Amino acid sequence: MRSVAVFSDADADAPHVRAADTAVRIGPAPAAESYLSIERLLDAARRTGAQAVHPGYGFLAENAAFAQACAEAGLVFIGPSAESISLMGDKIRAKETVKAAGVPVVPGSSGSGLTDGELAAAAREIGMPVLLKPSAGGGGKGMRLVRDESLLTDEIAAARREARASFGDDTLLVERWIDRPRHIEIQVLADGHGNVVHLGERECSLQRRHQKIVEEAPSVLLDEATRASMGEAAVQAARSCGYRGAGTVEFIVPGGDPSSYYFMEMNTRLQVEHPVTELAVLIAGDGLDLVEWQLKVAAGEQLAFAQDDISLTGHAIEARICAEDPSRGFLPSGGTILSLREPRGDGVRTDSGLAENTEVGSLYDPMLSKVIVHGPDRPTALRKLRAALADTVTLGVQTNAGFVRRLLAHPDVVSGDLDTGLVERAVDGLVDREVPAEVYAAAALLRQAALEPGSASGWADPFSTPSGWRLGGEAAWTVHHFRVPGNDPVEVRVRGNELLVGGTQVKPVRRLRTETPAGHTENGNTVTVELEGVTHTFHHTPAPEGMWLGRDGDAWHVQVYDPVEEALRGAGRHGGADTLAAPMPGTVTVVKVAVGDEVVAGQSLLVVEAMKMEHVISAPHAGTVAELDVTPGTTVAMDQVLAVVTPHEEDEG
C-alpha cells in the first residue's frame, strides 16, 4: 500500500513528507488554507490517484462534511460514516443518543443553540462550578472551568471565540463540574458487519488546560468488573450511532467511586494516545496495530477476533512532548530545533514529527512528539519513561519533557492517586523557576573556551587569552553577562578555576571535557563541568545571541548580552511595570482599547493566540494607555512590547 503525504509550506521538509512515497503541497502555512481545506485535500487525492483518505487525528478527522465530501468524490474515508461523525461530534445530540442507549451521562444543559443568557441560566441552575464545552469539537479547545458566577459572561464569550476559531462553530453546552475527577477512556473497534469490541481503557487524568500530557493503560483505578462494565457501555455507545472503525468513548469517573462513571464524549477518530493501547493489548496472544485495523475495516473486512480474544499485558505509558514552557503557565513556545535526540530501545517507542532545523511556529498544535514505553508492571514502566525523558534532547525550543519527568516521580502519580486537577495543584513543586548555578557555570566555561585564540604552534599570546593574566599582579576576572528568558540578568565572573555567579561566594569550577557522542551531529555536543566538586553534564549547541544547554529533558536558552549596549538602546524600559509584553509567540486577535483610554487594574486589554490557545493581556494597574504597538492580526514574538499603561499619579507608589 503506497502513501501520499500532504504538506503546507511550513512543513515542506517535515519527516512525514520524506517518509511518504509521494508528497503534495496543498497551500501556505495557515491551516485554513492547507490542512483544513477540504477542496485542496480532495484535489491532492485526485492528482495522485489515491483511493482512500486517512484523516489522522486533526480537526478534519471529526469533520462530517469532509467524510461526506470524500464519499462524493469516490474516495474511501478511513473512519466512521459522516452520519456517525455528525451525531457524535455534536456533544448535545451525542449525550441524548447514548443516554437513550442506557449509558450514564453527566448532568448538564439540554438543547443546542443556547444563547449566552440561556447558558448562564443553565449554569446557575446546575450550580457552580460548571464546565463550558464546545459542542463541535474536543481536545480541550474552548473548554472553560468557571467557579465564580460573576465571570460567566466573560468566560462564555472567550469559549465561543476559541470554539469558533478551532471548529468554525461556537455552539456551547454547560455541564456540572465533578471535583477531582478521573478521565478514563475506552478504545473501541467496529467493522461494517455489526461487530463491535472494546480494547480496554486508558487513564488520561494527567492534564494541563484540559489537555492530556500523560496516558497509560491499564488504569490502576479499575477492577475487572468495572472495566467490563465500562467497556460494555462504550460498545453500546458505538452501536447507538452505527459506528465503524477505531474510536474512543471518554468517561468522567469520580475517584472515590469508580463504579459511578459518566459518558463525556466520543472521539470518532484515532486518538493521539493510541500507541498505549497497541503496547498493552494482545489479540489471541499477538500484538495489535490499530491503524492496520482501520485500513482493514475501511476495506470492508470483518474483525478477525471477538471480545474474549482480547487481553491486557503489562503496563504502557505515554508522555506528550509539547512546545510549551511549564514555568510560564504552560504557554506555547517556539523556535528552531538546533539539536535533537529522541529515545528508543527495548520497550521504548517514539512517534515524532521532528528533525533538526525544524521550525516550530505558533500556527499548529504544540505537540511535537510522543514517548511511549512498555514494562511488565506499572512501577517498571514509570521508571523506564522517566529514563527515556531524561534522554530526550530538543535544544532550540522550550518543551515540557523535564517537567513531565518530574511529574512521573510525584508521590501521587507513583501511587496511582490521580485526578484531572493534580498537575495544576502540583505544578509549583515541579517547576524550578531559578536557573541552577551549574547552568551558568557551563555557559561561562564554554564561552571562555570559545574566546581562547588558537595557534598552530601551540603558543598563545597571554594578552589575548581570557585568563585574566596580569604582569606582576593578581589575575583579573573575565566577566560574562547572561540572561535566560523569564529570569533576571546574571553576571558571571571566571578566573582560572574560580567562578562567581551573581556576586555570590567564589566557587571552584573546571571544565572536564567537551565531546560529540556517537551518532550525533556536530550540533549534538556535550560538556561536563565540575562545580564545587560535583560534576554536571549538559548537551549544548550554539544559538543566536548565545547557546542552548540541556539536561534530563530540561533546556535553557542562555543569552549573551552587553548591558551597556542594552542601556543605550533603551532596552531597560521593556521590563518595567508599565509595559505589557507578549507572553508567547503568536498573533494578536483582539484589541479592546486605544491610546488615551483610561483602564482599571485587571481590565482585559488584548488577546494573543498561539497554537489555538488564547491568552488575555490585562492592565497591571489603573491608568492610561500611553502606547499601543499592535492591531488585530499582528504577529508578535515572545516578550515583544504590546502596550504601555501609565499609572495615575496618585497610584504611582
Encode 351-365 in three state secondary structure: EECCCCCCEECCCCC
In a domain, 94, yes or no: no
Convert the pLDDT of each residue in 456-476 to its tens digit. Answer: 556 666 666 677 777 777 778
pLDDT for 461 equals 66
Phi then psi for residue 168, to 5 deg, are 70, 15
Q: Calculate the CA 536 to chain-centre distance.
A: 28
Peptide bond into 129 cis (omega under 30): yes
Q: CB-based contacts of 388: which residues, under 8 Å, 6+ apart? A: 343, 348, 350, 371, 373
Cell numbers representing residue 638 in the block? 515572545
In a domain, 373, yes or no: yes
Cell numbers representing residue 50 in the block? 489515491
In a domain, 481, yes or no: yes
Burial 5-39 (b: 16+ CB within 10 A, else e): bbbbebbeebeebeeeeebbebbebbbeebbbbee
**Cα(449)–Cα(480) distance, integer angstroms:** 13
Does residue 493 sit in the same domain as residue 421?
A: no
Cell numbers representing residue 205 in the block? 487524568
DSSP string, 116-171: HHHHHHHHHHH-SSEEEEESS--TTTT-EEE--GGGHHHHHHHHHHHHHHHHS---
CATH number of domain containing 606: 2.40.50.100
Q: Tell me the CA distances in angstroms from 76 to 6, 86, 297, one per residue in order.
A: 17, 17, 11
Last residue of a domain, one of 431, 466, 493: 431
Does residue 113 sit in the same domain as residue 20?
A: no
* Band of residue 167 on the pLDDT scale cut at 50, 70, 90: confident
Name the residue with cell 523557576. Answer: 433
**Cα(175)–Cα(494) distance, integer angstroms:** 59
| Structure letter (DSSP) for residue 476 | P
**Cα(505)–Cα(515) distance, integer angstroms:** 30
Does residue 420 sit in the same domain as residue 532?
A: no
Structurally, the chain folds into a number of domains equal to: 5
Burial 157-193 (b: 16+ CB within 10 A, else e): ebbbbbbebbbebbbbbbbbbbeebbbbbbbbbbbbe
Residue 575 reports pLDDT greater than 60: no
In a domain, 343, yes or no: yes
Strands 554-560 and 579-581: unpaired
Pair 132, 172: CB distance under 8 Å: yes
* Band of residue 166 on the pLDDT scale cut at 50, 70, 90: confident
Query: What percent of the chain is predicted at pLDDT more than 90?
Result: 69
Does residue 76 sit in the same domain as residue 15?
A: yes
Residue 353 reports pLDDT greater than 90: yes
pLDDT for 562 equals 86
Q: Which amino acid is at 623?
A: G
CATH number of domain containing 320: 3.30.470.20
Residue 518 reports pLDDT greater than 70: no
Does residue 549 sit in the same domain as residue 609?
A: no
| Structure letter (DSSP) for residue 301 | P
**Cα(653)–Cα(650) distance, integer angstroms:** 7
Nearest to 626 by CA among 590, 578, 586, 584: 578
Pair 387, 330: CB distance under 8 Å: no
In a domain, 636, yes or no: yes
* 3-state class (DSSP) for residue 32: helix
Residue 406: which H helix or E strand, with range? helix 401-407
**Cα(216)–Cα(77) distance, integer angstroms:** 29
In a domain, 96, yes or no: no
For residues 226 and 362, the model is more confident at: 226
Does residue 319 sit in the same domain as residue 399?
A: yes
**Cα(578)–Cα(621) distance, integer angstroms:** 8
Among the listed ranges 123-127, 141-145, 428-432, which one has the minimum average pLDDT value?
141-145
Q: Tell me the CA distances in angstroms from 367 to 288, 327, 347, 354, 485, one per residue in order.
A: 24, 17, 22, 10, 22
For residues 297 and 109, the model is more confident at: 297
CATH number of domain containing 34: 3.40.50.20
pLDDT for 612 equals 67
Does residue 641 sit in the same domain as residue 556?
A: no
pLDDT for 3 equals 96
∠ Cα 465 469 474 (to 5°): 160
Q: CB-based contacts of 568: which residues, under 8 Å, 6+ apart? A: none
Residue 336, judged by CB atoms within 10 A of its CB (0-12, 13-18, 19+), counts as middle
Pair 288, 206: CB distance under 8 Å: no
**Cα(378)–Cα(219) distance, integer angstroms:** 10
pLDDT for 560 equals 93
Q: What is the mean pLDDT of residues 108-116?
A: 84
Phi then psi for residue 480, to 5 deg, are -120, 140
Convert the pLDDT of each residue in 531-564 to its tens digit. Answer: 999 999 999 999 988 999 999 999 999 999 888 8
Convert the pLDDT of each residue in 474-497 to its tens digit. Answer: 778 889 999 998 888 999 999 989
Pair 585, 362: CB distance under 8 Å: yes
In a domain, 285, yes or no: no
Does residue 425 sit in the same domain as residue 446?
A: no
**Cα(534)–Cα(512) distance, integer angstroms:** 11
* Band of residue 361 on the pLDDT scale cut at 50, 70, 90: confident
Query: Which alpha helices (H) appear in 246-345, and where do they start and end?
Result: 274-280, 290-298
Nearest to 108 by CA among 133, 84, 137, 140: 133
Q: Tell me the CA distances in angstroms from 389 to 371, 396, 403, 410, one per residue in order.
A: 8, 17, 9, 15
**pTM to 2 decimal places:** 0.85
CATH number of domain containing 146: 3.30.1490.20
**Cα(539)–Cα(292) distance, integer angstroms:** 38
Pair 323, 333: CB distance under 8 Å: yes
Residue 101, judged by CB atoms within 10 A of its CB (0-12, 13-18, 19+), counts as middle
Cell numbers representing residue 403 in the block? 517537567
Q: In whole numbers, what is the pLDDT of the chain averaged over residues?
A: 90
Q: Which amino acid is at 317?
A: I
pLDDT for 574 equals 45
Pair 246, 188: CB distance under 8 Å: yes
Q: Tell me the CA distances in angstroms from 39 to 73, 103, 531, one per residue in order.
A: 11, 38, 60
**Cα(599)–Cα(593) distance, integer angstroms:** 9
Residue 430 reports pLDDT greater than 50: yes
∠ Cα 404 409 412 (to 5°): 105
Does residue 128 sit in the same domain as residue 158?
A: yes
Does residue 390 sit in the same domain as residue 480?
A: no
Strands 641-647 and 579-581: antiparallel
**Cα(161)–Cα(612) distance, integer angstroms:** 10
Does residue 486 sit in the same domain as residue 381?
A: no
Last residue of a domain, one of 561, 582, 609: 561
Among the listed ranges 205-214, 269-278, 301-310, 368-377, which one has the minimum average pLDDT value?
205-214
Q: Calculate the CA 197 to chain-centre distance.
A: 31
Residue 269 reports pLDDT greater than 80: yes
Residue 571 reports pLDDT greater than 70: no
Last residue of a domain, one of 85, 117, 149: 85
Length of the chain: 653
**Cα(33)–Cα(40) distance, integer angstroms:** 8
Convert the pLDDT of each residue in 173-198 to its tens digit. Answer: 998 888 889 999 999 999 999 999 99
Does residue 488 sit in the same domain as residue 547?
A: yes
In a domain, 230, yes or no: no
Convert the pLDDT of each residue in 6-56 to its tens digit. Answer: 999 999 999 999 999 999 999 999 888 999 999 999 999 999 999 999 999
Show the domain range for 442.
437-452+475-561
